[in-house]
Every structure is written in C-alpha cells, then in structure tokens.
C-alpha cells in the first residue's frame, strides 16, 4: 500500500545536491522559496515551488510547514554512542589543563569507561544508549555512525556492536556500526599481544558482518602509524571499510595513512601537517572534523579553511563520547563549524548532510533533498539558513521525517 505525503508551505528549502561536495563547491546549495515536497512511501518523488495542489488526492497526508525551513536530515558520521557510566570525575583535571594522554596513563580516560562498560548488562547498556540516541535525534540527526571501543575485549566489543545493530533495527533511525577494538591497550596486555588478539576479533567481525567499518586510534602512546596500518589492513582483508582517528593530539601522519589505505575518512585532524592537508585534499578521503571536541578540551580547532581552500571533502560530526565530547547537541557542534572553524552556513550544511552521507557510503540514498532519495527531512523553526547558526546553543528543530514518516512533531517523538 502506497503512503502519499505532501509537505507544503515550506518558507525556504535548502539542500546540497549530488553525491558529495568538495572545496569551494561546498557552498553550492539548492534553495527555493514557498516550497513543497511530495513523498511516496519512503522516497521523495517531487520537489517544487508554488502550487502543489495537483499532487493532492483523497488519500494524501498533508503537512503544513507553516513557513519554516526544510533541510536534509543531519548525518552524524562519528559517534561513540554506546558506553557505560560517565567521566565527570575527570572534569576538574581537564579544566586544570592535565593532558589527556596523562589521564589515560593513570588509568583514566578510555580505560575508566572500559571498566564501567564491561560492568553493564546488555539491557542496561542498550537502555542507556537509546536515551542518547533520541537526544541526538531531537537535534535533527536521522543517520549516524556508532563505534565500539569501550570493551577492549571480544565479549564487550561484540556486545557494543550487537547493541548498535539492535538500535538500527528497533528504532526509526539509521545507525552504522564501526569496530574500534584498537581504541587503547587494555590493562594486562602489552601492545603487541593485544594487536594479535585484535586480529582474531577482526576476522570474526568480518565473518559475522557485525560492523561496516574498522577504526583505530592512531595517536602518540596508543597505536602508531605502523601499528595502525597493520590493524586496518587486517580489516580490509576481512571486508571492512576504513576510518581513522588521525592527528588529533600529535601530528603522526595518520591522515596520510588514511589516504594510502583509501579510507572513507580521517577524523579529528586538529594536528594535521600541511603536507597531509595537500594529500587528503587531492584524495576522496573525507576530512571529518569534530569541533565539539576542541571546544570541550580547550584545544586548537582543525584547519577547516585550509582544507576547504585546498579542495578537500569536509564533513562535521559530534564525536559524542563520555570523555572529550559529552554532548548530543549536534546543532551546537554545527554552530562551532561557523564560529570557530570559519565555515560558511552553506559549507556547514553540506558538511553535516551530503558529505556525512558520502563518508558513510550512503550518498545515493540520503544526505540531500532530491527526487529518488529517502525522505529524511528536518523542519526547523527559522526563516532562513543563516539563523540556525547565528542563534546558537538552542534547538531549532520542530519536526523530523525519517524514511517518509513523521517521527517527531512539535519536538516530541511519536
């Protein structure tokens, strides 16, 4: 049975188009006033301006946007959604300037979250994660990536991945799983013996298809470039696509490794070298920037302007996690894209929609409002695109459609 929906009286509709945008083309936004969107089941069939009545019949579900703006559903292509506990006990150390790597060496950071995540049952961890998922979605996120990485043993890493896959099946949202067993070296292991254990787990992840991507924390005192290359190549050999936590704290060359391995994205890049900016800008690897992490840690922001000016594909993500970005406010992260990364509103919209979709290999279905694509639509209580970045720190989302179905009305989920 066909479900026919028409969203009309859209004050302004803004969307990138195509599969991705790079460099100066990130400013290329399709914009129409007095717009409408016609949906059949889960797909967009028409977009236009003005008279929409020819698309109305007795079975049409009519939705009046009341002059608000319509955008593609946001794509958050880097989160650590599933974890136990919280880390407010480290907050004072952070604001006193204690380096993260020092906190990690003392048993804090990732390792403290690992301990708390291991203690929670599947159901406890699932229920905690679903709360954060809906909080993210309340800001307009309809698709997201979620990583393991707080287990550091097979049992808990696979528990995290199973929860991510269950959330994808049992909620309205699209959630893409990433295996991040190489997030840190757990207590009781030397690095080499842990890497050997990871190889066995990666084989099982590939065989069972628990994850689409493999990731590694390529950083000083964690996994160096050579370690990361070995781990990621094992993932490639087992059918996984590559992402890399790269050049976040120290410039190790993780972004260059991402290019060498044809990774979908290199993430963070606050310490990326000028040479690797040139390399990633000439590649199809996405520079995935996470400004909320810089904000929370009081660290330098990634060089977005250099990357864009040199023709890189740039996306923006929340990096939601308990240690360095404990916030589900995706819109605040986007506003930091303008305020701190000096990106234009059009560039930020592109970075949080079509480029995020490309980052996840989903650009043919989502990331833009175009005929034939999934009807993932955010209706925002604003008159224009600039306003949602100018009026910062609040939630502008009013209604959300996912796969053609309205899942949030007046800021409340069905």
pLDDT digits over 62-97, tens only?
Answer: 999 999 999 999 999 999 999 999 999 888 887 888
Contact 114, 145 (CB under 8 A): no
Fold of 4-73+368-413: Urease, subunit C; domain 1 (2.30.40)
CA distance 52 to 32: 14
CA distance 230 to 232: 6
pLDDT at 378: 98
- Local structure of 92: helix, strand or coil: helix
pLDDT higher than 90, residue 55: yes
Share of the chain above pLDDT 70, in %: 99
pLDDT at 19: 96
Fold of 75-359: TIM Barrel (3.20.20)
CA distance 353 to 20: 9
Q: What single-letter DSSP state applies at residue 357?
A: H
CA neighbor of 269 nearest in space, from 292, 299, 289: 289
pLDDT at 3: 77
CA distance 390 to 407: 27
Share of the chain above pLDDT 90, in %: 91
Average pLDDT, the chain: 96
Average pLDDT over residues 34-54: 96
Q: Where are the domains positioned within the chain?
A: 4-73+368-413, 75-359
CA distance 402 to 217: 32
| Residue for token pair 């979709």 | 357
CA distance 232 to 244: 9
CA neighbor of 8 nearest in space, from 59, 43, 60, 58: 60
Q: What single-letter DSSP state applies at residue 24?
A: G
CA distance 274 to 307: 9
Q: In which band, very low, low, confident or very high, does the pLDDT at 1 lie, cut at 50, 70 and 90?
A: low
pLDDT higher than 80, residue 104: no
CA distance 133 to 142: 10
pLDDT higher than 70, residue 268: yes
pLDDT digits over 196-248, tens only?
Answer: 999 999 999 999 999 999 999 999 889 999 999 999 999 999 999 999 999 99
CA dihedral (74, 76, 81, 87) positive or negative: negative
Burial profile 120-134: b = 16 or more Cβ within 10 angstroms, e = fewer: beeeebbebbbebbb
Tell me how many helices (H) and strands (E) the chain has: 15, 17
CA distance 326 to 317: 13
The alpha-carbon radius of gyration of the chain (Å, integer) is 21
Q: In which band, very low, low, confident or very high, does the pLDDT at 99 lie, cut at 50, 70 and 90?
A: confident
Q: In which band, very low, low, confident or very high, does the pLDDT at 153 lie, cut at 50, 70 and 90?
A: very high
Catalogue the E-assigned strands of 257-403: 265-268, 286-289, 314-316, 377-380, 397-402
CA neighbor of 244 nearest in space, from 204, 275, 276: 276
Cα–Cα distances (Å) from 211 to 9, 154, 285, 348, in that order, read: 41, 14, 19, 28
| Residue for token pair 């069972």 | 208
CA distance 410 to 413: 8
Per-residue tokens: 182: 């190489």
pLDDT digits over 135-151, tens only?
Answer: 999 999 999 999 999 99
């Amino acid at each position: 049975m066909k479900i026919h929906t028409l969203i009309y009286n859209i004050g302004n509709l803004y969307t990138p188009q195509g599969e991705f945008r790079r460099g100066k083309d990130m400013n290329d936004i399709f914009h129409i006033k007095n717009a409408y969107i016609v949906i059949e089941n889960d797909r967009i069939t028409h977009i236009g301006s003005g008279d929409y009545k020819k698309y109305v019949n007795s079975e049409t579900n009519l939705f009046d946007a009341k002059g608000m703006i319509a955008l593609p559903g946001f794509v958050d292509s880097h989160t650590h959604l599933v974890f136990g506990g919280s880390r407010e006990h480290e907050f004072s150390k952070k604001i006193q300037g204690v380096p993260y790597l020092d906190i990690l060496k003392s048993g804090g950071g990732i390792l403290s979250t690992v301990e708390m995540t291991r203690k929670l049952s599947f159901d406890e961890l699932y229920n905690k994660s679903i709360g954060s998922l809906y909080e993210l979605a309340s800001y307009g996120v309809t698709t997201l990536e979620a990583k393991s990485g707080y287990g550091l043993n097979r049992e808990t890493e696979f528990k995290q991945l199973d929860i991510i896959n269950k959330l994808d099946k049992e909620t309205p949202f699209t959630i893409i799983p990433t295996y991040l067993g190489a997030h840190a070296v757990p207590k009781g292991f030397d690095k080499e013996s842990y890497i050997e254990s990871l190889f066995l787990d990666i084989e099982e992840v590939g065989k069972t298809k628990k994850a689409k991507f493999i990731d590694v924390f390529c950083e000083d005192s964690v996994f160096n470039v050579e370690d990361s290359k070995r781990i990621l190549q094992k993932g490639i050999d087992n059918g996984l696509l590559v992402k890399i936590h790269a050049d976040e704290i120290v410039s190790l060359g993780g972004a260059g490794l991402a290019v060498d391995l044809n990774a979908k994205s290199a993430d963070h890049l606050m310490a990326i070298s000028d040479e690797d900016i040139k390399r990633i800008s000439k590649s199809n690897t996405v520079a995935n920037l996470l400004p909320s992490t810089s904000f929370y840690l009081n660290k330098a922001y990634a060089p977005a302007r250099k990357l864009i000016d040199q023709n890189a594909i740039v996306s923006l993500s929340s990096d939601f996690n308990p240690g360095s970005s404990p916030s589900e406010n995706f819109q605040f992260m986007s506003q930091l894209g303008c305020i701190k990364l000096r990106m234009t509103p059009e560039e930020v919209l592109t970075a949080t929609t079509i480029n995020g979709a490309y980052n996840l290999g989903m650009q043919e279905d989502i990331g833009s409002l175009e005929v034939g694509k999934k009807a993932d639509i955010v209706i925002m209580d604003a008159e224009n695109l600039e306003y949602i970045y100018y009026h910062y720190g609040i939630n502008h989302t009013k209604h959300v459609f996912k796969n053609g179905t309205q899942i949030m009305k007046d800021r409340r989920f069905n």
